Structure 1
Amino acid sequence: MPSSMASSMSSSMSSSMSSSMTSNATRRVSHPPSPATNILLFLIAFRLLNAFVVRTFFQPDEFFQSLEPAWQIAFGHGEGKERGAWVTWEWDHRLRSSLHPLLFAAIYKVADLLASALSLPAAARADLLIAGPKTAQAVVSAIGDFYTWKLATRIYGTDSRGAWTALIVAVLNPWQFFCSTRTLSNCLETTVTIVALDLWPWKWSAGAVSDDDLSKSATERGRAEDQKLLWSLRQCLCLAAFACILRPTNILIWATLASVAWLRIFWLQRKVLVREVLLCGSTVLAVTAVADRLFYGVWTFPPLRFLYFNLAQSLAVFYGRNRWDYYATEGYPLLLTTALPFALVGLYRTLKIRAYSPADQVQTTIRVQLATVCLVMPFVLSLISHKEVRFIYPLLPSLHILAAPPLVQYFYPAVYSRSSRHTPQRLILIFIVLVNVVIALYTTLYHASGTLDVLTYLRNQHDRHATDGQDTPYSHLVGTIPDPGITAGFLMPCHSTPWRSHLVYPSINAWALSCEPPVDFDEEEKAVYRDEADQFYDDPSQFLRRNMVGGLHRIPRRPSYITGFQSLSTTSPNQHQWPDYLIFFAQLEPTLHNLLRASAYGECWRTYNTRWHDDWRRRGDVVVWCLDAREQEAWRSEKQRQEKESRDYQFDRIVEAIKEQARGPQKRSWQSFVPSLPWSSSSSSFASWQRSLKSLFSPPTSRTWPWSTRSRMDTFLARFRKPNPTVKKWIPSLPSWSSLPLPSWPTWPSVLGGESKKNKRMPTHDLWS
């Protein structure tokens, strides 16, 4: 008995000690973050970097359908669009929901309060107000990528190659890098849609739950799982309703999924579905109605008005008409780029499935229904004349998921096998990654970058002239009545640049050409209607004479920040004051040179915008003319300095090429053939580089050289004039540099390393003959 008691006591003590040690170890060793948490944090960091790398212009709706109304909500109306936000006609006619701008209005208020609390200077405060919406949208984009991976794990498994491939494709997709961090309603719609898809009750759509299971759940499994499913359904339906409020076309996705689910579920499930749709839909509609009532001042229903104006009145056609096959031939290729073949294969294989095992019934059903949605939505939208690739943007996460299995099947052996027979796949994979990176960087850093850079320039000029001619600085506080600042006019197609969300300062008085559509016009009036931008480009001379105060004969000689006079009032709404800064695209430069040659306007800044553009009115650099003679002179001096640096750089490259030629044939680097980067502003084309070289080597008209490279060249040639046994064999004597007859342009490629077929190396003395 005692022995048994002792053994039981010892066993209980050992078990208690082991349990206490285990609990202590558990308390001492903290649990590492879950893989899902690490993935989400990585995606947030990546999209934050993505958001602040983007410095190009894509669509006006990025600003005018979100940030401009948000600015008005946060800081008030101001004095119209000249000093306040530019609220477009869609908001005047209540076509948009205010929920999206309210999100950014809250961010503006938080940023403004933070800047006030930290007592930031005006320039830092402006940067903070610009960075706030970007930061919020980066987090929204990261959540969309995260739920793309979550839905992929639901289909392929948590640690499956398909789920990880879907995540990698989403990260490397050029369209995602270019568009996902922009403040477009389509970007928020895409994230909300993929989150709702992950919450959708796919077991119902797969027919994997019967009425018997629902009736037995209260007695056999309890209500926990049912409550979890019900809560998930409610979240899904609320998000789906919000997505449809943002973009009414999103209803195509949920109508397709709900129709399939209705056909596969039983009556008890149908009752639950109808009840939750009414409950969640009514809740979202009530919240939207209250928000719109506060924003517009009247009770309204924007989705219905949106459909009426764009379909019944066909106002969407005013902004462009596309072919019926646009989404198949342009939409999907732009969304997917290099992943397009694999997405098409994934769509085909998914829709080809005829039978599947009960084990993967739900996973296969998800894939089939996602593929169905990816075909139904573009088909229906193709019936509308006006088409844009961002209208089908919510389908991109589903396409990434469907493209994952073909990608794994094709590239997995090449990645994890060392066999040389997979070399072609490895090369293709490297090529795809490089192409995606190049496209993403080019579209986010270079293409159409000038229209954002010019607003940074205007803010800098405002800061520079804020105290010119004044005893105290201008007030930079948004929401207060500002002092007169600089004035700017944009002779560009409408909405070519952001507005107050990037001008920031209310004391910058600016105007731009408008393009209001023919609302409530009959068909005959619509046929002949020309908006303000069309009238300007039809006849710039006539427009400036009629629509500018004073016409072409009363143009100011000095800027308003020097004279101290600035008038906002005009005789008619279509008339504009001549501004301190006139901004336009380079294609308009010859026309304005001819019209304003006798005025005080002159070029004071220029920036690269794009090499090509589908709109002829937006081609070329962004050019700024100003009235300030000091700025014009400073800009001329800066351009001369850049040109001199370019000539010096090119001259040094030629000297290096001559040195290499003198040392004899050797293995050359490709950089020696490239004088400068092709997008350099100082050498924008091969023709300009050629002209620079010709002017560089042309015989000087004077003994005085305009740059300092003469001494370097004379020093170099002096080496050959000294006795040198190596050089003396093939160079008899070199003439002085001033009397040196240089070859014509066609012979210089041989100097740069080109070799003739007949003679592998040209004798050096022939170079100077």
Structure 2
Amino acid sequence: MENIRSRLRLGNKEEDVKLRQRKSQLYSKDDTCPLNCGALGVRLVLFVVAFRLVNCFLVQTSFVPDEYWQSLEVSHHMVFNYGYLTWEWKEGIRGYSYPLLFAFVYKILYYLNYDAVQLLKWLPRILQSLLAAFADVIFFFFIRNLENSDTAKWTFLCHLTSWFTWYCCTRTLTNSMETTLTVLALCYFPLPGSRSQNSWKYLTLVALAVLVRPTALIVWFPLIIYHFWQEENKLKLIIHQYALIGVLAITISTTIDCIFYGKLTFVQFNFIKLNIFHGVADFYGSHPWHWYFTQGFPVVIGPNLPLFLHGCTVAFRRYKILLITIIWTLTVYSLLPHKEFRFIYPVLPFCMIFCGISLANLKAWQRTVAAILVVSNLIPALYTGLIHQRGTLDVMGHLQSLCDVSRSNNLQPNVLFLMPCHSTPYYSHLHCPISMRFLECPPNLGDSYVDESAIFYDDPLQWLKASFPYKSSLPSHLVMFDVLEKDISGFLQGSNFVRTAEIFHTHFPEGRVGRNIFIYERH
């Protein structure tokens, strides 16, 4: 009888082992898929989507002109056939693949007759937020399978509370999409210990990132070399994956660009030619070589820097390739004179892996450090998202009333922006074809070069007198930063301009950018 019972117990244990193995095999089909994690996956998806939507609506400030002028303004022009395209589009150094994403949204709104300006402003941001949320969820399960649940939890906390990720990920910037695609590609990259590695998926996502922003290749160059070095059948990898995916991506991208440019255009070649060989990027400012190491990177990673440094010492051996990629990216960008915080944003998720490992190893200090981390990131996230540099967006809301005036009274307002070029969004945030003009500042590309912005700021009064010799040619509205008012006060009084609005912009005015924005109307 005892033998029978023991056999039954042994049989039950064997069945349990087999059941766990079957579950493990089923789960390992795609370790990054949240749907395979049941209730946990569903709860996480709902939480992250809600989190990123809140993130989206709590970012009401401007960062850089490219979030409008290289995306929404182009999309608006593609669908509604009016607007302004900057010199990059005239020179063919920007691809239409990214603006095409938002153009689809605009086209659907147009066909449904729901193309209200608020929807044109917010739906692309919401779409960007949902894509970021999707990458967040995949990233969590990737870390959980790469490390363990505890490390995944702390890494995810660091990632979600990062002030710079909060500030950037929902914006319609090519850098935001590049980072989202980079996170997704990393989740399928053949890192040691990864159970979700898939060369086709990660290379396709890398190709998409490069199409959105050619400089994405800087981040992925050491990782692709690492993959090549680890691969046994190198010739097959080159021919069947690198070459095939690369040629297919370039073909699709070039086809899209040729359709919208109306001629044969190789955007990637033009981008490299003008920015690297002709040094056009230098026109927009330069920084010392060490800027990314002494200012750029510390600001971007923010309060997480101590955790990152500690995590590097703990996980250096296992994730050496990720650390090499971070250092490589900072070094390569340091060699270029023009530097911006957003350029190194794609390596920030790599840094969060080291931060999460650091927190997981602190044990007794975890909760205290996590609380400090959340608070210290929350303050700059909310300040930069809700307060700093919000005036250039708010002013477009004020000007929106001119669209209603032009429709009801058949008047034609004429707005002149006397500000550094591209300071505000344009028709994508008004969505009515009233006459607007701003001070242009294209780089010197050769023939008949005119930097209107530089000429204006050299002698504002002389420029205004030369541009508007007769009162009949004056604009109906002027938009300017407060620092300009004293320089042209005589012109404003003599031309019967009256200030009708004062809009806060920033607590940290600098140079030609003031604390407030003024709107003047001619009476």
The TM-score normalised by the length of structure 1 is 0.61
Match of 2:200 in 1: 234
Q: How many Å separate the matches in 1 of 2:336 and 2:37?
A: 51
Q: How many Å apart are 1:415 and its aligned residue? A: 5.3
SS at 2:307's partner residue? helix
Q: 1:391 aligns with which of 331, 335, 343?
A: 343
- Residue of structure 2 equivalent to 1:486: 413
2:45 counterpart residue number:
40
What's the counterpart of residue 177 of structure 1?
A: 166
Aligned partner (choices 354, 357, 382) of residue 441 of structure 1: 382
The one-letter code sitting in structure 1 at the alignment partner of 2:118 is D
Summarize the Cα distance change of 1:375–1:415 in structure 2 as closer, same or farther, 3 Å threshold. closer
Alpha-carbon shift at residue 601 of structure 1 (Å): 0.5
SS of the aligned residue for 2:442 comes to coil
Equivalent pairs counted in the alignment come to 488
Aligned to 1:662: none
Residue 516 (structure 1) shift: 0.8
Bigger relative contact order, structure 1 or 2 (CA pairs below 8 A, ≥6 apart): 2
What does residue 669 of structure 1 align with?
A: none
Structure 2 match to 1:560? none
Alignment of 1:299-318 (within 5 A): 299-318=264-283
Distance change in 2, residues 1:344/1:509 (3 Å): same
1:371 to 310, 318, 323: 323
Match of residue 226 from structure 2: 260
Question: Could you tell me the TM-score, scaled by structure 2's length?
Answer: 0.88
Q: Which residue pairs with 1:126 in the alignment?
A: 117
- 8 A contact 1:112–1:129 mirrored in 2: no
Asked if residue 545 in structure 1 is aligned to residue 465 in structure 2, the reply is yes
The aligned amino acid for 1:128 is L
Instruction: Tell me, in whole angstroms, the C-alpha distance in 1 between the residues paired with 2:266 and 2:378.
Output: 43
- Rounded to whole Å, the distance in 2 between the matches of 1:611 and 1:298 is 46
Q: Deviations over 1:326-375 (max 9, x none)?
A: 11112212221110111122224433x3xxxxxxxxxx2xx221111111
Taking a change above 3 Å as real, the CA distance of residues 154 and 269 of structure 1, as seen in their structure-2 partners, is farther
Q: Is residue 616 of structure 1 aligned with residue 487 of structure 2?
A: no
Q: Any conservation in 2 of the 1:133–1:183 contact (CA below 8 Å)? A: yes
Q: Which amino acid aligns with 2:442?
A: E
Among candidates 277, 294, 299, match of residue 329 of structure 1: 294
* AA of the residue aligned to 2:494: A
Unmatched runs of 5 consecutive residues or more in structure 1: 1-30, 77-83, 209-224, 354-363, 417-425, 471-483, 557-576, 629-769
Contact 1:584 1:622 in 2 (8 A): yes
Distance 1:290 1:300 in 2: 9
Equivalent position SS for 2:95: coil
**Displacement after TM superposition at 1:275 (Å):** 1.7
CA distance in 2, matches of 1:334, 1:72: 35
Cα distance in 1 for partners of 2:224, 2:403 equals 55
Deviation at residue 530 of structure 1 after TM alignment: 6.2
Q: Percent identity?
A: 31
Contact 2:315 2:357 in 1 (8 A): no
User: Could you tell me which of 102, 113, 127 is aligned with 2:111?
Assistant: 113
**Structure-2 residue corresponding to 1:602:** 498
Q: CA RMSD in A?
A: 2.2
- Match of 2:476? 580
Q: 2:521 aligns with which of 626, 630, 637?
A: 626
Q: Shift of residue 33 of structure 1?
A: 4.3
What corresponds to 2:211 in structure 1? 245
Confirm or deny that 1:191 pairs with 2:166: no
Equivalents in 2 of 1:329, 1:40: separation in Å? 37
Quote the Cα distance in structure 2 between the aligned partners of 1:322 and 1:138: 31
How much has 1:621 moved relative to structure 2? 0.4
* 8 Å Cα contact 2:62/2:393 also seen in 1: yes
User: Equivalent residue for 1:149?
Assistant: 140
Work out which of the residue numbers 425, 448, 451 in structure 2 matches 1:531: 451
2:450 is the alignment partner of 1:555: no
Q: How does 1:652-663 map to 2 (within 5 A)?
A: none
The answer as to 2:436 corresponding to 1:510 is yes
Alpha-carbon contact 2:482-2:514 (below 8 Å) kept: yes
* Matches of 2:137 and 2:302, distance apart in 1: 21
Following superposition, the deviation at residue 515 of structure 1 comes to 0.5
Pick aligned residue for 1:460 from 401, 409, 412:
401
1:440-474 Cα distance to aligned partner (Å, 9 max, x none): 11111111111111100110243255323x5xxxx
Structure (1 or 2) with the larger CA radius of gyration: 1
Q: What is aligned with 2:90?
A: 92
Which amino acid in 2 is paired with 1:623? F
Question: 1:60-79 residue pairs with structure 2 within 5 A?
Answer: 60-76=65-81
Task: In structure 2, give the amino acid aligned to 1:396.
Answer: L
Question: Is 2:224 the counterpart of 1:297?
Answer: no
What amino acid does structure 2 have at the position aligned with 1:453? D
Letter in 1 for 2:390: S
Is 1:165 matched with 2:154? Answer: yes
Give the 3-state SS of the residue equivalent to 1:64 in structure 2.
helix
Distance apart, 1:322 and its partner CA: 0.8
**8 Å Cα contact 2:163-2:378 kept in structure 1:** yes
Q: Which runs of 5+ in 2 are unaligned?
A: 1-35
Instruction: Give the match's secondary structure for 2:520.
Output: strand
Counterpart contact for 1:112–1:125, Cα < 8 Å: no
Q: What is the distance in 2 between the residues matched to 1:489 and 1:234?
A: 50
